[in-house]
Structure 1
Amino acid sequence: MTPVQRGAAAVALATGLIAGAEGLRLTAYLDPVTPTICYGETEGVRMGDTATLAECQAKLDRRVRVFAATVRRCAGEDLPPPVEAAFTSLAYNIGGGAFCGSTLARKAKAGDLPGACAEISRWTYAYGVHVQGLANRRATERALCETALAGDPS
């Protein structure tokens, strides 16, 4: 698989993962204190904003590509697609700065993918409170990440 094919596969996996985890809302809402719309989009969102399905899909596509590039920069260029997808979903949820400054990114960049995948499970808190929905999402991301370590080419 070429680097371009790997990247496209990772973006496709991440997009599905993120869309499923975030859900779709066409009207802005507070999540829990940040105005959010579409598939968990917070950039430039104000309460009262609305969007169409096509606009939401375009926002998701653009932002997933941005976060995938952040993951490649901070965690390594040659990640297997399931690993990159899991990391991209995490970065989309916690932000690029938090992802790049994480132990997870340092472990991945150093080649410790098992250790990096294990770090996903640590990101289950929002505002200091354990959130079961985040724990569920992290379990899905970690399982996807670890498929690459088990030799699954998906």
Structure 2
Amino acid sequence: MSDTATRAPARLTRTIAAIGLAAAAVIAPFVSGWESGGKQHLVAYRDIVGVWTICDGDTANVKPGMVETPAGCEVRYDRQLTAHAKPVLACTPALKGHPNQLAAAISLAYNIGTNGYCGSTVARRFNAGDWPGACDAFLMWNKAGGRVVRGLTNRRRAERDLCRKDLP
């Protein structure tokens, strides 16, 4: 069992309340695996575009030289998942009750921001009832700093695949 899988259940407290058990069980290990490769970064670092980041891709109030504990990372991760889930559900309410599509959407929002997600083609297509089209639109978000990044392309394919699973 991966380190991510063993950490995930402890992280679900607020996330479950925000999005429900089924989506939380999918999203917690999924995002963590992409954000940190299954390994928490306890020391702040600059991501691919120079944003200070810590733990599992958390950029909120991160400063150079910052150090976090594993328990602190779990609290930060749960807080961030919840902070991203609520706006995703608010701007794409049709996702409620569809754990795979919701988990994919939260993963995208976690990576591009909730404003980016809510203004995206992905959200517009979900809201229009074009579920397959929404899933395919994940692939549009594979750039950082204006250039295509292989890791983002791989993540978007995984999000699209998750989104396509059990489509309504």
Q: Same fold (TM over 0.5)?
A: yes
Aligned to 1:94: 112
Q: Aligned match of 1:20 in 33, 55, 63?
A: 33
> In the aligned structure 2, how far is the partner of 1:120 from the partner of 1:129?
16
Residue 11 of structure 1 is matched in structure 2 by 24
Give the alignment partner of residue 72 of structure 2, picking from 30, 42, 55.
Answer: 55
Specify the SS of the correspondent of 1:27.
Answer: strand
Paired position in structure 1 for 2:47? 31
TM-score, structure 2 length as denominator?
A: 0.83
TM-score, with structure 1 as normaliser? 0.90
Q: Displacement of 1:11 after TM fit? A: 2.1
1:148 Cα deviation from its structure 2 partner: 2.0
Amino acid of the residue matched to residue 100 of structure 1? Answer: C
Aligned amino acid, residue 59 of structure 1:
R
1:21-51 CA distance string (max 9 Å, x none): 0112000000021100000000100010000
Q: Matches of 2:133 and 2:109 in 1, distance apart? A: 17
Aligned partner letter, 1:25: H
Deviation above 3 Å: which 4+ runs of structure 1? Answer: none
Where structure 2 has 5 or more consecutive residues not aligned to the other structure, the ranges are 1-16
Superposed displacement of residue 9, structure 1: 1.5
1:70-85 equivalences in 2 (<5 Å): 70-77=87-94, 78-85=96-103
RMSD over aligned CA atoms reads 1.6
Higher mean C-alpha displacement, 88-97 vs 72-81: 72-81
Q: CA deviation at 1:10?
A: 1.0
Letter in 2 for 1:102: S
